[in-house]
Amino acid sequence: MLGKTWVGVAAAIVIAFLGLGLTAYGAASWDWFGRARDAGTIEGAALPGDVIAARGQSQSAAALALGAEGDDRILFGDLHVHTTYSTDAFMWALPIFGGEGVHPLADACDFARYCSGLDFWAATDHAEAMTPARWTQTRESVRQCNAVSGDVQNPDVVAFVGFEWTQVGRTPNDHYGHKNVIFSGLEDENVSQRAIAAAGVAAQALRGSPVALNRWIPFLDWRNRQDYFDFQHYVREIRAVPECAADVPSNELPADCFESAGTPGELVERLEAQGLDYLLIPHGTSWGFYTPPGTTFDKQLEADQHPERQTLIEVMSGHGNSEEFRDWRDINASPDGLSGECPPPSPNYEPACWRAGEIIRTRCEAAGGSAESCQARAAETRLRAANLGVAYHLLIDGEEAPDWLDSGQCRDCFVPAFHHRPRTSVQYGLAITNFDDPNTLRRFRWGFIGSSDNHRARPGTGYKPYDRLRHTEAAGASSDEWRTRILGPPLPPNAEPNAVTQDELMNMAGFQLTEAERQASFFTTGALAAVHTQGRTREQIYDAMRRREVYATSGPRIMLWFDLINGPGGATTPMGGEVTLGATPRFRVRAAGDFKQAPGCPDFTAQGMSADRLSNLCGGECYNPTNERLRITRIEVVRIRPQIRAGEDVATLIEDVWRTLPCNDQGQGCTVEFSDPEFTRARRDTVYYVRAIQEATPRVNGGNLRPTRDAQGNTTSVDPCWGDWRTPRSDNCLTNVEERAWASPIYVNARR
């Protein structure tokens, strides 16, 4: 649960991470003086009208300088925001993890308006922890945020209601991952009656486990006892909600029961039964923290999963980048997905299962074992690790995060997700085709967005590279003493693998135990969603998302246009569009970098919120643009030609980078054009998208594990950025990276 959102783990083990071991108390039968936490109070007033007007004028000037026509404007937002209503968010707010206390929905509204200066955001707490009372309070708080947004036709901030469906599968065959559901309207008839949870591991662990927070924790941290009592009360509230009847349609269920869906298809059917207008957005798709090795996107293209309803996809968040495909494998899975073998290392990748074998081999040799016997132990360890899913590390006692080096990680990806799974990457999803119906080739048609996935009620945290422990998910024990209480005393190193199987793990815990501390090096500041609209209203923003005229940025407010300029009848087709064409497609890209940031906060912030509130939320730093832009260095074009026959090798269909176009940016951005003469000769459907690459600037955890490599490129050591006391709070673990924006693809179908 450490950071990325395996909600079931947070309450089911609450806590192999919360200290002094686990203690069973039936259904968490105590909370003493625990109290329910609410959505908080929004303090900030609407921003001054001249501030909003100045933003628009600045954009219009940039667009004019690049030759962009019309009244199109670009708005920036964050569609993935968690508050203390999410179990993991509440857990990391606890003092033993260095938490600063609860982060209610009101904080998110004030932060978006005054700290990050966003145009829109969405509340997406985990449905698995959403009681009827919390769901009601969520809707009311979002309405209140909109009510203080000024002119309804020109609001300063638009807030959306949503929830996260947090599915975790034990094997590749039953893993579908996480999806956000965003609703178009605010009134009860426009929003789901209940936040619909993911059936399975997450919900079962959260609702059914008899494990509770050890009752001695408050006495060991007496000054903060109320936080622990309140957390215990929070867990009891979740478990008190009765299950909904599984055989009753969603629109006929009472509002006060716990509703769940086992697959994306069932989730869609339950939402459709209520007649709702919504967006379904997969996210964190390649994040290997909870994704079993060997998982692919293929099963989600089956008709009963309703892939057409997945309109957008989150390319990047504060949990890393899920865009890029690589041809290496974490395991070689059997056809049924129930077993696997460990592949050898390849350039830029060492499987974690292979590193497990190397650790055991080294220990065996140090203990005096023969080379032959130690190699045999290594082979056995690799095989066992390949069949333990995300729990491979339990084979080895006395291990520390640096022992694993950078195994399991994509070494040549841009700010990658932890244990990046290439076959659940965005590029892989765009390259595959479902051939079940010979008359209909089923493919994903995603628009691209970025988000923060922030768990501290702070939307849009990517505006400045600072305050790592507040603006990323990095967290951990507050001291060496608490680390020992949380993780237990160190075990002596073993020279042969532990005898543990995945079945045993399921029987013991009901879920796959996950790696904990190493992932802190992969938590970074948030990405953003950008929309092309003609105005600032809720309806205009939502309509842009529905038609996929959106793009993602890694955090900066890069301006980006991507158009097919010779569509049918000579029409221009913007990013996210789909056309059928018989001629050579021609494209135009316009891009301008984000403004360089001034220190501190703009003067107007002090007029709308108290100094204490600003300090507590923003930490003294806000989105505070100067008049000088960072430069765009180049435009990268990615071309993907989706499968036209079953079994076609995806690696041959993804061309990244297909073209690199220099950007002669003198401070106002650049405009470039390109075409694809091969399209008419190949006569196959093609997906095109572009990346605008900005000059390098510092990024929190931009270097991940910060490896040292020898002359042959082998990793010899790592320097993790710890989430606990071992890395000082003042160290933001900065590394220069080339921030970027990803245009939504243009889908060009070949005329036949």
| 83 to 376, 453, 454, 740: CA distances (angstroms) | 49, 10, 8, 27
Q: For 628-646, what is the mean pLDDT?
A: 97
SS3 316: strand
Checking if the pLDDT of 18 tops 60, the result is no
Question: Hey, CA dihedral for 348, 513, 383, 357, is it positive or negative?
Answer: positive
Residue 64 identity (one-letter amino acid): L
What are the pLDDT digits (tens) for 179-200?
A: 999 999 999 999 999 999 999 7
Question: Hey, CA dihedral for 515, 516, 522, 523, is it positive or negative?
Answer: positive
Kind of pairing between the strands at 573-574 and 715-717: unpaired
pTM of structure: 0.94
SS3 48: coil
pLDDT at 2: 29
In the DSSP assignment, the letter for residue 109 is H
Contact assessment for residue 388 and residue 252, using Cβ atoms and an 8 Å cutoff: no
Checking if the pLDDT of 595 tops 60, the result is yes
Q: For 353-369, what is the mean pLDDT?
A: 96
Distance separating alpha carbons of residues 521 and 235, to the nearest angstrom: 29
For residue 652, with 0-12 CB atoms within 10 Å meaning exposed, 13-18 middle and 19 or more buried, which class applies? exposed
Q: How confident is the model at residue 201 (pLDDT cuts 50, 70, 90)?
A: confident
Contact assessment for residue 544 and residue 730, using Cβ atoms and an 8 Å cutoff: no
Distance separating alpha carbons of residues 25 and 250, to the nearest angstrom: 33
Weakest mean pLDDT among 48-57, 512-521, 653-662: 512-521
Distance separating alpha carbons of residues 745 and 426, to the nearest angstrom: 11
Asked if residue 657 has a cis previous peptide bond (ω within 30° of 0), the answer is: yes
pLDDT at 515: 79
The residue to which tokens 């459709």 are assigned: 272
Checking if the pLDDT of 168 tops 80, the result is yes
The residue to which tokens 């054009």 are assigned: 673
Contact assessment for residue 202 and residue 221, using Cβ atoms and an 8 Å cutoff: no
Element housing 658 (H / E): strand 654-662
Concatenating the DSSP letter of every residue in 701-748 gives TTTTT--EE-TTS-EEE-----SSTTS-TT---EEEE--EEEEPPEEE
Phi then psi for residue 720, to 5 deg, are -60, 150
Checking if the pLDDT of 3 tops 50, the result is no
For residue 586, with 0-12 CB atoms within 10 Å meaning exposed, 13-18 middle and 19 or more buried, which class applies? middle
Kind of pairing between the strands at 158-166 and 178-183: antiparallel
Q: Please list the residues that pair with 316 across neighbouring strands.
A: 321, 450
Q: Please list the residues that pair with 590 across neighbouring strands.
A: 561, 671
Concatenating the DSSP letter of every residue in 141-191 gives HHHHHHHTSS-TTS-S-EEEEEEEEE---SSGGG---EEEEEES--SGGGS
Rg of the Cα atoms in the chain? 25
Distance separating alpha carbons of residues 243 and 51, to the nearest angstrom: 48
Contact assessment for residue 56 and residue 155, using Cβ atoms and an 8 Å cutoff: no
Contact assessment for residue 330 and residue 419, using Cβ atoms and an 8 Å cutoff: yes
Q: For 594-620, what is the mean pLDDT?
A: 94
Q: Give the side-chain half-sphere CA count within 13 A for 104.
A: 18
CA 332 to chain CA centroid, Å, is 26
Distance separating alpha carbons of residues 274 and 658, to the nearest angstrom: 44
What are the pLDDT digits (tens) for 127-155?
A: 999 999 999 999 999 999 999 999 999 99
Contact assessment for residue 183 and residue 276, using Cβ atoms and an 8 Å cutoff: yes
Q: For 621-627, what is the mean pLDDT?
A: 97
Distance separating alpha carbons of residues 155 and 566, to the nearest angstrom: 36
- The fold of the 7-329+411-476+521-750 domain, in CATH, is TIM Barrel (3.20.20)
What are the pLDDT digits (tens) for 328-342?
A: 999 998 877 778 899
Who wins on pLDDT, 28 or 186? 186
pLDDT at 30: 60
Q: For 421-443, what is the mean pLDDT?
A: 96
What are the pLDDT digits (tens) for 224-252?
A: 999 999 998 998 899 999 999 999 999 99
Please count the other Cβ atoms lying within 10 Å of the Cβ belonging to residue 387. Answer: 21
Q: Please list the residues that pair with 659 across neighbouring strands.
A: 637
Average pLDDT, the chain: 91
Checking if the pLDDT of 13 tops 60, the result is no
Q: Pick from 661, 739, 650: which is nearest to 687 by CA?
A: 650
SS3 611: helix
Percent of the chain with pLDDT over 70: 93
List the Cα angle 640/748/549 in 5-degree steps: 95
For residue 491, with 0-12 CB atoms within 10 Å meaning exposed, 13-18 middle and 19 or more buried, which class applies? exposed
Q: How confident is the model at residue 416 (pLDDT cuts 50, 70, 90)?
A: very high
Say how many Å lie between the first and final Cα of the chain, rounded.
Answer: 50
Q: Please list the residues that pair with 349 across neighbouring strands.
A: 346
Distance separating alpha carbons of residues 65 and 629, to the nearest angstrom: 13
Q: Pick from 166, 17, 7: which is nearest to 94 by CA?
A: 17
What are the pLDDT digits (tens) for 52-91?
A: 999 999 988 999 899 887 678 999 999 999 999 999 899 8
Q: Please list the residues that pair with 670 across neighbouring strands.
A: 591
Q: For 564-568, what is the mean pLDDT?
A: 95
pLDDT at 29: 53
Would you list the domain boundaries of the chain? 7-329+411-476+521-750, 338-410+487-520
Residue 563 identity (one-letter amino acid): D
Q: For 468-476, what is the mean pLDDT?
A: 92
pLDDT at 378: 97
pLDDT at 460: 98
Residue 479 identity (one-letter amino acid): S
Contact assessment for residue 134 and residue 161, using Cβ atoms and an 8 Å cutoff: no
pLDDT at 412: 96
| 96 to 2, 24, 99: CA distances (angstroms) | 14, 21, 7
Residue 507 identity (one-letter amino acid): N
Question: What angle, 0 to 180 degrees and rounded to 10, lies between the N-to-C axes of helices 371-386 and 352-366?
Answer: 150
What are the pLDDT digits (tens) for 274-331?
A: 999 999 999 999 999 889 999 999 999 999 999 999 999 999 999 999 999 999 999 9
Q: How confident is the model at residue 33 (pLDDT cuts 50, 70, 90)?
A: confident
The residue to which tokens 């919504």 are assigned: 278
pLDDT at 682: 93
Distance separating alpha carbons of residues 630 and 592, to the nearest angstrom: 8
The residue to which tokens 């001249």 are assigned: 50
Q: How confident is the model at residue 508 (pLDDT cuts 50, 70, 90)?
A: low
Distance separating alpha carbons of residues 240 and 20, to the nearest angstrom: 26
